[in-house]
Structure 1
Amino acid sequence: MHKMPRIWMDYCTFLTDQNKITRTRKVFDRALRALPVTQHHRIWPLYLNFVKKHDIPETAIRVFRRYLKLCPENAEEYVEYLSGIDKLDEAALTLAKIVNNENFVSQYGKSKHQLWNELCELISNNPDKVQSLNVDAIIRGGLRRYTDQLGHLWNSLANYYVRSGLFERARDIYEEAIQTVTTVRDFTQVFDAYAQFEELSLSKRMEEVSKVASPSEDDNIDLELRLARFEDLMERRLLLLNSVLLRQNPHNVQEWHKRVQLYEGKPHDIINTYTEAVQTVDPKLAVGKLHTLWVEFAKFYEKNGQVDDARIIFEKAIQVPYVKVDDLASVWCEWTEMEIRNENYEEALKLMHRATAMPSRKVAYHDDGETVQARLYKSLKVWSMYADLEESFGTFKSCKAVYDHIIDLKIATPQIIINYGIFLEENNYFEEAFRAYEKGISLFKWPNVYDIWNTYLTKFLKRYGGSKLERARDLFEQCLEKCPPQFAKNLYLLYAKLEEEHGMARHAMAVYERATKAVPEKEMYDIFNVYIKRAAEIYGIPKTRQIYEKAIEVLPEDRTREMCLRFADMETKLGEIDRARAVYAHCSQICDPRVTTEFWQTWKEFEVRHGNEDTMREMLRIKRSVQAMYNTQVNMMSAQMLSSAAATTGTTADLAPGEKDGMRLLEAKAAEMAGSAGLVTRSGNIMFVRGETQGNKQDKVVNPDEIDIDDEEEEIENEEVPIEKKNIPSEVFGSLKKDDLND
């Protein structure tokens, strides 16, 4: 029994080779009847190949139908066969059944979407051969089902009508498509196909007309109509694209503005667009500023001379439930500006009075649970414009009341306070202005109060000068009490100027002294410059020595060098050569010769002009000492690093012999370098620099103002003394600490 399928297969194959078609078909049928169903899969492939090979469509179709009852999963093979023999209606029906069968699994691994596209392509490209299906209904079903492929499906439906010769119907499909798609990709696909369709239609009609010897008037009209239709389509492209974007998000305010611009020159369309926009956009879902639509709508009427209609638009706009109070405030301000442009000043003031009216109950400005209309009374934007209008068109009393109301509501800014003070001053209410400044000072803290203080003090000094000196001093002291360092500079300079012009010089100097401590480090240099300049003008140049010394103590290194050079230059001009030399010697301790070459060149030029061979040699010796000091600092850091490493890993005795030798060599080298540089060390620390006597006393430059040094100190040669103390008058560095000189 198990050999029967094989026998039938061999028999069928033999008959097939003999080209006995009818007999072979009957043998296949007998084999299928004789064999059990479980063995049919061995016969059907031979049977199907047989009917395909001998080109007998009717028989093949009947055979395939019987086969699909047993193996419905192979329906795609049947569709391929039908497409090959041009039986497209039957192929479309079978493919439609496949698509509608939710349990169907493609033997070729195709998805339902791919099968649907094949069906759409088949029925749209062959409208004359597919008669059994409602193509329009099938494709529209796909439009509802596959929303990510709308462009392709719409083009397939339009293509079906084009191939059917129903051009007007195809045009309607294209119009419907571009009015319904919601993505730019789908729109682009449909629009390009639509434009190509219109262009081909136009070009074909032009060819037909050109072949006619004498075209009739109807032909010319039809040609012009097709051309106008194509041009209109291309002109509408941007507008259609804008419609797509608005279908994506109808609450996009910016796209509504773009749509209005596309209708430029068409007032009725613009009005309809604005009307549709304000009715469509939800304030809570709006992307952008909704109030701009209302404002531009009203401005459109204003530009066309319809001010009353613009007022109606604004009246509706102020009732919209905006998300932010600022949007409603902007509408009120725009409405007021429109009235001002039309010179309706009284109406503008009434509008501002309406906008700032107190509600029936007080609400918090930031309470989102309340409407924006109820919170508008605390809008600074509206109050600021109200104050400006009152200044321009109101009375002094009404304007003052507005400013006072702003302050009472505690919504004032420093600029509002300053504007209030200037307004009162312009009307000669100076004390009222000063009281307004004081109110502002009580409302704000640093740094916001800086502008108010600056304006207040400037105006007060301009008004009273030195007639109310004690009051001015009290104001300055109150201002500077909690003033941050970054705002102190200008205030101290203003205070010092007051004391110079109307007070006492020593008070001014005291203010400058306080300023040097109150300002940030980066501004100290500027303050010291002003301090030195004013001290020189008031007391004379010699009185600036203490200021220079103070500056050298507190300034950072780069500024200290500049101050030392200026100090030395001043002493040189005064003829105090030894003092100048002492300043150079002191400054040299922070001047690395490899970096600050300019300083050493300046000192060298000084010695060339005012010194002698001994002083020049001393300068060079100091230069070498400073150089060695900076080199030794690097070596000391290395030694400290090595010592810390040794402390971590063990003592020197714990090191290997090679490591011991390396440590000894490093120590010896460091000691040798310190000795060659004239440095005397103790326990590895630098103590002082070895000095030498610089020639005979009578060879030195004689300075009658120089303080004599003790004879005992002059007789000591090669004594180890700090280099800064050698030949330095005590007055110059009397206020400097010994540690500062040795650093």
Structure 2
Amino acid sequence: MNYDDWTLDRLVAPADMALEHELAKNPHDLASWQAYYRLVEAAETSPESVQKKLFVLERAVQAVPRSAEMWLLYTDVAESLVEHASYYHHRSDFGVVNSVYERALLLLADNHQLWQRYLRFLTSRQQCEVTFIRRRFNRALLCLKGSVAAIWQLYLAFGEAVGGLTACHVWSKYLQYLGGVEHADGGHIVLVLAQYVQNDQYLNAIALYRAVLASSRDLPVSRLQLLNEYLEVLVDLSKTSPSASLTNHFELAVKDAIALYPDQLGPLYLQLTQFMTEQGHHAKSRHYYNQAILHCDSVRDFVMIFDAWTQFEESRLTELSEAVENNNTDEAAILDALASLDFRMNYLDNLISNRPFLLNDMMIRKDPNNLDHWFQRIDLHKDNLDKVLPTYAQALTQINPLKAHSGTSNTLPKLWINYARVYSSRDDWKTANLIFSKSVTSTFRSVDELVDLYIEWTESNLSAPFKDADTKALYIVQQVLFENKSKDELHASVSKNLRLWSFYIDLLQSFIEDDEKQAENIDRVCDAYTKMIDIKIASPKTILSFASFLQLVNYNERSLAVYESGLRLFTDSELRFEIWNVYLSKAISFGLDIERTRDLFDTCLFENNGCPASLAKPFILLYSNFERDHGFVLKSLKVIKQGIKKLSDGWELAISKEQRSKILNDKFDLYTILFISVEDIETKRGLYEEAVEDSQLSLDQLIRLSDEFIDFEVQQKQISRARGLFKFICKLCNPKNNSLIRISQIWAKWETFEVDHGDEITYKEMLRFKRTVVDEFEKVSKFNEQLNPMGFVKGETVGGAKDEEEVRNPEEIDMDM
């Protein structure tokens, strides 16, 4: 820029004299200076105009030094001088512009607009002056008050453009401005970390990573991702600058991460062991491999860690082998290497052989209440008693009885039982009994599990070789059944368990062979059965077993009393049926008095609390056969007739369709048996008449009975009665109903009957009757069709044609003899 031609004559035109005189009078009038500048600005663009602008603005800022407007105009004109210039060729011109900004900012240091324009000018046109620009940014941040977001935006953009240490410096200062890790935006923190890593500022990155991971603030990325990045930074730094402190940082970072992310235990431990291996800390690698195996809780992590461990050991063996092969001079070193090689081979063999045990340990850690894992561990130690017994004790200590579960048939009582068997198999009965006594006081989810233990405890003592083993075994069950004072609901309910009582009774019955105490043992069995009935836990099977036992020892009369007590005990018809069935059969087999037996049958069949109609048929037949076997034939028939009446009454009271259907089928069977049993013709005819008039029977059953009745009358040469029966049964259903095969068969049978026993008149009468029946059913059908939903009959069409059937001659019959 040439200042030689800047003369007063050229810079002050005659048109400017008026303003010059005014400014001479009042040089501090800002309005006059603004008017003067507008006058100059309005002139044509020429080098002289730029000079005149600078001339006016320089004088204006000297006269009014704190006018931000004039300084902004001054900087605009100054920048226009270097608008198309290159900084490398016109540094002095750029220096003039910078000096204008510097002078302005000395007076207006808190002006945001001036600072932004200055910094923007520096970063866009003088990028090579990094230190100068960075210092101006720092100065701007110190001078300005209030919001400096726009300054920081320019500063960060400048840092990214420059990169390197400058970028790291800028971002770290910005993080400090935001208030550190606890107050800074998560996105900015991530950007700062990225800048540190990109520019190999590992120490700063490590410090910031540690601060971020220790804080609780939200981040745009997951903490696990940040943690992995942190570990990668440590690994990269260890390759160039390994140190003990760096190793400690890595160890602490992984341990903290495992505590926070236990589901990432496997990958994190593998990173730690790999780091230690690369650093040459093989002992630490083995330590952390072992720690990982001892703390992992998934099969995936176990397999991952174990495979990596075995590969690590194999690589160490390879290194030792190569060392032995390459060392041909130092015998002492060779011997040491061979010893180390042998030790490491044994170590690897032991590691591989212990794999099932380590895997089982992991499964138990994952789910200590899984019984299958504990049984598997016991099976692994089955050949080592010193390991088996502590395993049983550990399992029973760690398993929660209320949460114990199994995918197979393993149960918690089975674990107690197997534990006791270890001692009993070695004749240590005292310890076995102690274990059983502890087991029955433990907590269980069901009474059946507790019962299993008592039964096994008793059977274990029965097999013991010591004297009075049977008595001691019996005492175990008697104590829990008769002297149980437990306040726990589950343990108290054992004394009412049907299975344990049945076991106790079986045990007592096994002692009856002793002739000296046979009567005493029989009484004990009877007392046990009676106790079961008294406490109301006896089942029908219990009643029948009790009676069967009494019959076995020839207490027949007493056994009948047991049946009676069972009938009083149960109210369910099905259960009472089972007892009555055996009771009546046994009463007949014992040869009781006839009247007494009849009273039993009458009680079973015809009293209010007797057997229901749906279950009465077997007892009716049994009663009938009993009378017949004793020569009372009429009484036998009377019983069947009484049974039919009972079924008729029961059908009226039955609720379900299934019960009614069964009663009708049983009733039909009784009718059939009755007809077969009666030989007197008039009596049988009377029974047939009663049967076909039974309104409860189904149509199919009535047809079958009528068919038999017709055959009976034909045999007796009663043709007219047979014809009447045909008419009776054939009018019950439409002959055109093809769904009923039996009615078609009856019509066919009637036709054959007329051919064999009738004449042309009776045959025509049969056909006429058939047509009449068809007409009646069709009229009913048409009437039903004419009914609307309200039940009214539709009106007939006036003057409509009559149906063909109505005009047909009723006497016209087609003959087909």
TM, length-normalised to structure 1: 0.75
The equivalent residue for 1:84 is 198
Corresponding position of 2:745: 602
Distance of 2:354 and 2:811 partners within structure 1:
102
CA contact (8 A) 1:92 1:119 kept: yes
Other-structure match for 1:502 = 630
Residue 112 of structure 2 is aligned to residue 5 of structure 1: no
Provide the residue aligned with 2:295 in structure 1: 180
Note the C-alpha offset of 1:390: 2.0
The aligned counterpart of 2:221 is 110
In structure 2, relative to structure 1, the CA distance for the partners of 1:189 and 1:545 (3 Å cut) is same
Match of 1:43, SS? helix
How far apart are the structure 2 equivalents of 1:228 and 1:202? 10
Measure the CA separation in 2 of the matches of 1:357 and 1:294. 20
1:667-682 equivalences under 5 Å are: 672=803, 675=806
Q: What is the aligned partner in structure 1 of residue 676 from structure 2?
A: 536
Instruction: Kindly indicate whether the alpha-carbon contact (under 8 Å) linking 2:678 and 2:684 is maintained by their aligned counterparts in 1.
Output: no
* 1:639 paired to 2:786: yes
User: Does the C-alpha gap of structure 1 residues 476 and 641 become closer, same or farther in structure 2, counting only changes over 3 Å?
Assistant: same
Cα distance, 1:317 vs. partner? 2.4
Instruction: Give, as a single letter, the amino acid of the residue that structure 2 aligns with 1:381.
Output: R
Residue 42 of structure 1: which of 146, 150, 155 is its match? 150
SS at match of 2:590: helix
Match 2:459 to one of 331, 337, 340: 337
Aligned counterparts of 2:779 and 2:593: Cα–Cα separation in 1: 61
Partner of 1:399: 522
Alignment of 1:610-625 (within 5 A): 610-612=753-755, 619=766, 621-625=768-772
Partner of 2:551: 425
Seen in structure 2, the aligned counterparts of structure 1 residues 387 and 189 have a Cα distance that, compared at 3 Å, is closer
Give the CA deviation at 1:178: 4.2
Asked if residue 451 in structure 1 is aligned to residue 578 in structure 2, the reply is yes
Question: Residues of 2 paired with 1:440 and 1:417: CA distance?
Answer: 6
The answer to whether the 8 A contact 2:363-2:373 is kept is yes
Residue 469 of structure 1 corresponds to which residue in structure 2?
Answer: 594
Q: Partner residue of 1:557? A: 699
In the alignment, is the contact (CA less than 8 A) between 2:296 and 2:302 conserved in 1?
no
Alpha-carbon distance in 2 for matches of 1:672, 1:127: 113
Quote the Cα distance in structure 2 between the aligned partners of 1:227 and 1:578: 109
Matched, 1:244 2:365: yes
Q: Deviations over 1:461-495 (max 9, x none)?
A: 0110xx61000011112222222233322222211
Amino acid at match of 1:3: Q
SS of the residue corresponding to residue 356 of structure 1 reads helix
What is the CA deviation profile of residues 589-622 of structure 1, one whole-angstrom value per residue up to 9, with x for unaligned ones?
A: 4445334352244235424533236555555555
**More displaced stretch, 66-75 vs 139-148:** 139-148
Q: How far did residue 507 of structure 1 move? A: 1.7
- 3-state SS in 1 of match to 2:558: helix
Deviation at 1:244, TM superposition (A): 3.2
8 Å contact from structure 1 (residues 548, 563) kept in 2: yes
Q: How many residues align?
A: 651
Q: What secondary structure is seen at the aligned counterpart in 2 of 1:494?
A: helix
Give 2:174's aligned amino acid: Y
Q: Is the 8 A contact 1:356 1:382 kept in 2?
A: no
User: How far is the alpha carbon of 1:360 from its aligned partner?
Assistant: 9.5
Give the distance between the partners of 1:208 and 1:666, measured in 2 at CA: 119
Identity of aligned residues (%): 24
Tell me, in whole angstroms, the C-alpha distance in 1 between the residues paired with 2:414 and 2:584.
42
- Corresponding residue for residue 68 of structure 1: 175
Alignment partners' CA distance in 1, 2:639 and 2:449: 50
Q: Distance in 2 between matches of 1:124 and 1:624?
A: 109
Q: Say if 1:8 and 1:31, in contact at 8 Å, map to a contact too.
A: no
Distance 1:642 1:414, change over 3 A: closer
Aligned residue type for 1:246: D
CA contact (8 A) 1:157 1:173 kept: yes
Report the residue type matching 1:271 in the other structure: L
Q: Distance in 1 between matches of 2:471 and 2:441?
A: 20
Aligned to 1:524: 664
Spell out, residue by residue over 1:46-105, the C-alpha distance to the aligned partner (whole angstroms, 9 max, x if none). 444444444543x44333322211133322111011122233342232122122233x34
Match of residue 435 from structure 2: 313
Mapping for residues 18-29 of structure 1, pairs under 5 Å: 19-29=128-138
Question: Hey, what's the Cα distance between the residues in 2 that align with 1:148 and 1:141?
Answer: 13
SS in 1 for 2:200: coil
CA distance in 2 between partners of 1:171 and 1:140 (Å): 16
Give the one of 193, 196, 199 matched to 2:304.
193
Q: How has the CA–CA distance of structure 1 residues 341 and 693 changed in structure 2, closer, same or farther, with 3 Å as cutoff?
A: farther
Verify the 8 A CA contact 1:28 1:47 in the aligned structure 2.
yes
TM-superposition CA deviations, 1:265-320 (whole Å, max 9, x none) = 44443322221222334555655864332223223444566555433322332343
Residue 442 of structure 1 is matched in structure 2 by 568
Alpha-carbon offset, residue 197 of structure 1? 0.8
- Counterpart among 507, 527, 534 of residue 389 in structure 1: 507
> What's 1:140 paired with?
255
2: CA distance, partners of 1:627 / 1:163: 106
Tell whether 2:214 aligns with 1:100.
yes
State the secondary structure of the residue aligned to 1:449.
helix
Question: What does 1:119-138 correspond to in 2, within 5 Å?
Answer: 119=230, 123=234, 128=239, 134-138=249-253
8 Å CA contact 1:295–1:331 kept in 2: the answer is: yes
Secondary structure at 1:3's aligned position in 2? Answer: helix
- Report the secondary structure of 1:611's partner residue: helix
CA deviations over 1:320-339 (Å, ceiling 9, x no partner): 35565544333221122234
**In the alignment, what sits opposite 1:228?**
349
**Which is further off, 494-503 or 554-563?**
554-563
For the 8 Å contact 1:548–1:567, the answer to whether it is kept is: yes
Secondary structure (helix, strand or coil) at the match of 2:616 reads helix
The residue identity in structure 1 corresponding to 2:589 is: K
RMSD of aligned residue pairs (Cα, Å): 4.2
Structure 2 CA distance for partners of 1:676 and 1:530, relative to 1, 3 Å: farther
- CA shift in 2, pair 1:601/1:322, >3 Å: closer
Distance 1:238 1:22, change over 3 A: closer
Task: Give me the whole-angstrom Cα distance separating, in 1, the residues matched to 2:118 and 2:169.
Answer: 21
2 and 381 in structure 1: CA distance in 2 versus 1, 3 angstrom threshold: closer
- Counterpart residue type for residue 42 of structure 1: A
SS across alignment from 2:787:
helix
- Superposed CA offset, 1:176-203 (max 9, x none): 3443355xxxx13421321331353366
1:714 paired residue number: none
Opposite residue 90 of structure 1, the aligned amino acid is N
Matched to 2:212, the amino acid is I
Say which SS state the counterpart of residue 295 (structure 2) adopts. Answer: coil
Deviations 1:644-666 (A, max 9, x none): 489xxxxxxxxxxxxxxx95449
Query: Is the contact between residue 540 and residue 578 of structure 2 (CA under 8 Å) also seen in structure 1?
Result: yes
1:24: Cα distance to partner?
3.7
5+ long unaligned stretches in structure 2: 1-110, 179-183, 327-336, 513-517, 648-658
Q: Could you tell which deviates more after superposition, 613-622 or 453-462?
A: 613-622
Residue type of the alignment partner of 1:477? D
Q: Distance in 2 between matches of 1:242 and 1:677?
A: 95
CA separation in 1, counterparts of 2:197 and 2:782? 94
